[in-house]
Amino acid sequence: MKTIGITTTVPIEVLLAAGYSVIDLNNLFITSKAHMEYIDIAERDGFPKSSCAWIKGIYGACLKHAIQEVVGVMEGDCSNTGCLVEVLKMRGIKIYPFSYPCSHKLQDVKASIQRFMQTFDVTLAEVEKVRTRLNKIRKLGKRLDKSTYIDKKVTGFENHLYQLCMSDFNGDVDKFECELHTKLLEIQGRQPVSSKLRLGYIGVPPMTGDLYEYVTKFNAGFVYNEVQREFAFPRADKALNIYQQYYDYTYPYDLTFRLEQIQKQVKQRSLDGIIHYTQAFCHRAIEDIVIKQTLNIPVLNIEGDKLNVLDSRTKLRIEAFLDMLLDYKEVTG
Ligand code: SF4
C-alpha cells in the first residue's frame, strides 16, 4: 500500500478511497523517542532556530521515514506550510496541496474538496463509503470523550491521545478500531476518578505531554481537549456529506467560529479554567488576545518550544493558576 504524509488533518476519506495508508507527520514526530533528532535534521538543513518546532519536526520526520508523497495544507492551517512544502519539493517529495478556504463558505469548501477528489481520481460515492466506515470509529471516539467528562473514567492524557490519533487513525484504520474497542472495554471496568478542578485545554496539541499528569498533583484534570476533539470530528454523524463535515470543522477557520464551539463546551463540561497552549514562534499565539477577551472563564497561556517536558517556570505558573482556581472555587462554593 502507498503511504502519504499529511501536515495536518485533511479529508482523509479521499486519501483512503484512493488506496493510501495515511500518516500524520505531526504524530510521527511527537510520538518518536528521537523527536529532537528530527528537529536537528531540519536545523542542519537550514531551518532557522526561530521557527516552530512542529514545522521542523514534520520536516525531519518526513525525511527520516523516507515519505515520498505529502499533502500540504496551504490555507487554514499554518503560515509556514507554504515554505515547508517548497523545501520538501526540493528534496524530491511529491506535494499535493489542499486548502480550507478562509471565506468559510460551504460552496468554497465543496469546491476545494472536489478538486482534492479529482487530484486523487476518486468519486463522491467512494469517499462517502469511507466516511461511513470512519464515522463508526468516530462514534467510539465520542464515547471515549463522554467517558472523560461525564463518567470521569478516562484521564485527560488518554482523551488527548486517542482523539489526536484520529487525524490518521494511526495509519491503520482496522487496527485502530480494534485498539479503541479494547480500550473502551477496559475503561468500562474502571472506577470514576473526580478532580476538584475541571480544566479545558485549547490550542495546538502540546509538545509537552507531561502537562496532563502534572495538573493532577493539584487536584485538577483535563476534561476537554479542543483541537484534538476536532480532529476526531464529533459532529461528523450530523453532517449530510463530506462537504458539510469539513465545513463544520472549527480549527482551520476564523477564531469567532472556533470560540463558539469552545464556549459551548465550557458550559457543557462545567469547566473551571482553561490552559491555552501556544508554540514558540507561532502566529497563533496572537490569538490569545482575542481568546482571553472573549471567554468568560480564567485562561492561562503557556508556551512550549523544543522540549517535550514542561520547564520549571511553566510548572510554577500552572501551579499558581490552579491554586487561584481552587481558592476561587472554595470561596464561591
Ligand atoms: S504550532 Fe503554529 S507555526 Fe507551528 S506548525 Fe502549528 S500552526 Fe504552524
Tell how far the Cα of 187 is from the centroid of ligand 1, in angstroms: 33
Ligand 1, atom 6: nearest CA belongs to which residue? 78
List of E strands, the chain: 2-6, 20-24, 69-75, 94-99, 197-203, 220-225, 273-279, 299-304
Fold match flag (2-124 vs 139-332): yes
Look up the pTM and report it. 0.96
Sign of CA dihedral 230, 235, 239, 241: positive
58 lines ligand 1 (CB under 6 A): no
Tell how far the Cα of 54 is from the centroid of ligand 1, in angstroms: 6
pLDDT tens per residue, the chain (333 residues)? 899 999 999 999 999 999 999 999 999 999 998 899 999 999 999 999 999 999 999 999 999 999 999 999 999 999 899 999 999 999 999 999 999 999 999 999 999 999 999 999 999 999 999 999 999 999 999 999 999 999 999 999 999 999 999 999 999 999 999 999 999 999 999 999 999 999 999 999 999 999 999 999 999 999 999 999 999 999 999 999 999 999 999 999 999 999 999 999 999 999 999 999 999 999 999 999 999 999 999 999 999 999 999 999 999 999 999 999 999 998 886
Specify the CATH architecture of the domain 139-332: 3-Layer(aba) Sandwich (3.40)
204 lines ligand 1 (CB under 6 A): yes
Using CA atoms, how far apart are residues 48 and 14, in angstroms rounded to an integer? 34
Specify the CATH architecture of the domain 2-124: 3-Layer(aba) Sandwich (3.40)
Tell how far the Cα of 190 is from the centroid of ligand 1, in angstroms: 36
In the chain, what are the domain boundaries?
2-124, 139-332
56 lines ligand 1 (CB under 6 A): no
